[in-house]
A and B are shown apart, each in its own frame.
Chain A
Amino acid sequence: MLELKDITAGYDRRTPAVRGAHLSLRPGESLGLLGPSGCGKSTLARVAALLHRPDRGTVTLDGHAVTGFSHRAPRSLRTAVGVVFQQPRLAADPRLRLRDLVAEPLRATGRRSEAAARVAELAQRVGLGADLLARRPHEVSDGQLQRACLARALVLCPRWLVCDEMTAMLDASTTAALVAVVEDYRAETGAGLLAVGHDPVLLERWCGRTAHWNEIVKDRPPVTDRQHPYGGHVLRP
């Protein structure tokens, strides 16, 4: 289980980006979380990926309560969650060749010897040619770079995947291709998926279950205009 209980999180304690969010995912389940931009869904995705420490609330991952860490969650838990972000240009180190980008988690966890074989296997899975693996991010398109970022997220065989607007920058064909890669991986490994996005058509097609932001913060007033000046502009033209 991946369980988030009463999560309050943000970057400034006075105006948290997320207040009182609840979410739970069974192994193998896929949940599409929908919400307008600025509602806090990316922050919640970071909390679910154990990349951001909530100010309040608990995160439970496969029975382990992930609490009390000061800076980073323990590696054994973090590596159980693979993350793909919206903007591959910001998520990829511009100095690394795609091959090294994909292999980095293996090196960081001391599994360097497996790298070559795993990278080749994943490159094939996500549809990256061998010539592309030798290039650096500025030499490939957004779609190709996002393929590499997805390969990197899968390289440690995570039991959970968090995809935060994974396809927002991509064309229709690349979107469908990457979703297919994620679903193949899940069918093979039984991994759970939290996909965050703003496109209901895509998430309903992709995920077994979808929830709107207002449903997961249900004991709070729904996100409407005027709660926060920013949210107001987003929601109300």
Chain B
Amino acid sequence: MTPSPHVPAAAGADASRPGGVEPVLRVEGLSVRFRMAAGRYVEAVTEAAFALAPGESLALVGESGCGKSVLASALLGLLPANAETAGSALLADGLDLLAADERTLARTVRGRRVGLVPQSPAAHLTPVRTVRSQLEETVRELAGTADAGHTTQAGPPPASGGSDRPARRGRRHRLAALRAAAEAAAGRAAFPASHLDRHPHELSGGLAQRAATALALVGDAPLLLADEPTTGLDRDLVLRTADELRAHTRADGRALLLITHDLAAAERIADTVAVMYAGRIVEIAPAGAFFGSPGPRHPYARGLLDALPERAFIPVPGAPPELGALPPGCAFAARCAAADPLCRTRRPALTEGVACHHA
């Protein structure tokens, strides 16, 4: 399949993986646990650490329930009240997403510094309003606040008793500018202008995905966070959505954190793959090495790849442990063919990109 026409050759950004450049996001020791009844805790994410450079895409993969989406919610400050966090998640300008208060997050982070491409765009969009109206609202809120608000007050006061023509003209100008900005935003996400006046239920899954992506791009955030953006889509649409996300990342110098259980999408987009198991990152590796040669190093990551129908199509035996009752050693030991007594008693640390005593 061919990438959409607006996709420029994604050179440049990936050729020089900048060494000295400040990362867009640096996550260190991020842990999230939920306080439950009777003093119990569910350890959803434990000591996650990674960094995202401008233009880089990192795919966080793992089974459902492994803590991926909790990590995303933590970065957006959207955790429920019984959550406790530790560690830090620093943006390039030094803001710690975990420490920021709700006002800062709402006014300067969500949509502006971190754009969210949601899971299930059809549910994310407002069903009773057209795509155009939702885009215009977002442009007004994110980009246009300064001019849209000010021109009304700062413009020449209407001649007393005279006609209100200048004010009207100003209003018309603003509406035209808003309309143009919304259309430009749609264009950037390859959303066809002919469909702007449709409601979400009149869109296919692929177009709804692009509408949601367009909304995420409006604020021109340096970091895009995509939570399962391809779940339930056709394989063709998965690949196309992946290509589009990658284009918005590489060509424009944004960073993308892709959270997914879809390994095909991860392979298509990612520069770096991080595998999560039972709340911990157990392997972090360049995508080329992970999906190609020499392949994954952690036995769980190998098992995940072997489960693909393109490969052995053999499931990882057993089931992941409960996050509320994690074993003292390696969380994967109970399902691992290579596990020995050491694995069951001592938890392996993430060293050189893999957390396994045998790697």
Asked if B205 is an interface residue, CB under 8 A from chain A, the answer is yes
The reply to whether the CB of A24 lies closer than 8 angstroms to some CB of chain B is: no
Are B315 and A201 neighbours in the complex by a CB distance under 8 Å? Answer: no
B309 partner, pick from A127, A174, A202, A233, beta carbons under 8 A: A202
B193 CB within 8 Å of chain A: no
The number of chain B residues with a CB under 8 A from chain A is 36
In residues 212-269 of chain B, which contact A (Cβ within 8 Å)? 231-237, 240, 261, 263
* A176-B315 contact in complex given A171-B63, A205-B309, C-beta closer than 8 Å: yes
Contact between A37 and B205 (Cβ–Cβ < 8 Å)?
yes
| Chain A neighbourhood of B315, CB < 8 A | 173-177, 180
A-B Cβ contacts below 8 A, count: 92
Contact residues in B for A127 (Cβ distance below 8 Å): 318-319
Closest to B310 in A: A201
A143 touches B63 (CB 8 A): yes
Closest CB-CB distance, B30 to chain A, in whole Å? 21
State the Cβ distance, A204 to closest chain B Cβ, in Å. Answer: 8
Q: Which segment of B10-18, B167-175, B300-308 sits at the interface?
A: B300-308
CB contact between A172 and one of B190, B307, B318 (< 8 Å): that residue: B307
Give chain A nearest CB distance to B40 CB in angstroms: 14
Task: Decide if the interface of chain A is mainly helix, strand, loop or mixed.
Answer: helix
Asked if A134 is at the interface (CB within 8 A of a chain B CB), the reply is no
Partner of A174, one of B63, B205, B207: B63
Looking at B204, B313, B314, the one whose CB has the most chain A CB atoms below 10 A away is: B204
CB within 8 Å of B: which A29-49 residues:
36-38
A170 near B309 with CB under 8 A, answer no
The CA-CA distance from A168 to B228 in the complex, in Å, is 12
The 8 A CB mask of B314-347 against A (1 = contact, 0 = none) is: 1110110000000000000000000000000000
Asked if residues A173 and B309 are in contact (CB atoms below 8 Å), the reply is: no
What are the residues of chain A within 8 A of B303 when measuring CB–CB?
173
Give the B-binding residues of A (Cβ under 8 A). Answer: 36-38, 86, 127, 129, 141-144, 165, 168-177, 179-180, 198-202, 204-206, 229-230, 233-234, 237
Q: List 23 A-B contacts (CB under 8 A).
A: A36-B234, A86-B232, A141-B63, A143-B64, A144-B319, A170-B261, A171-B62, A171-B261, A171-B307, A172-B307, A172-B308, A173-B304, A173-B307, A173-B315, A173-B316, A175-B307, A176-B313, A199-B235, A205-B313, A233-B204, A233-B206, A234-B204, A237-B190
Binding site for A on B (CB under 8 A): 4, 62-65, 190, 195, 202-207, 231-237, 240, 261, 263, 303-305, 307-310, 313-316, 318-319
